[in-house]
Amino acid sequence: MPGDNRPARVAAQVRQELARLLARDFADPRLAELVVTNVVMTGDLRVAKIFWRLATVVTGAEHDARKVDAKAGLEKASGRLKRTVTERVGLRYAPELRFVYDAGQDARDRIEALLHEVAQDAKKPTES
């Protein structure tokens, strides 16, 4: 059908199922603080690029360690996620799941911190 955007519709369903699975069906503590921010499907529905981030706000080395742990948890659970999502969404072929960390929120947090710093500097009286 002209104008049919099936990959976008399927991506939305995949995102919803992944969020539900990660929130309810996995006991792995590495996946407990994970948020699926977006899913992009290829036109043939064979590859799903899953964007994710951490729900808790941490910085520095702890943030990097949690990202590595969460990525490892996702890779370990990918087979079960793939099977379950394929069944629940009703896909003919199981898409390859590619997990990509969504750094957008980190960038927004950094910009906010910088703007706050600038505002604080602007409030300080200048020395003459």
Query: pLDDT per position in the chain (128 positions), as tens?
Result: 555 699 999 999 999 999 999 888 888 888 888 889 999 999 999 999 999 988 877 677 887 888 899 999 999 999 999 999 999 999 999 999 999 998 877 677 778 777 888 888 887 776 65
The residue type found at 64 is D
By the 8 A CB rule, do 36 and 54 touch? no
Chain centroid, CA 90 distance in Å = 22
Which pTM value belongs to this model? 0.77
By the 8 A CB rule, do 91 and 17 touch? no
Per-residue pLDDT of 81-111, as tens digits, reads 999 999 999 999 999 999 999 887 767 777 8
pLDDT value, residue 128: 53
Fold of 6-103: GMP Synthetase; Chain A, domain 3 (3.30.300)
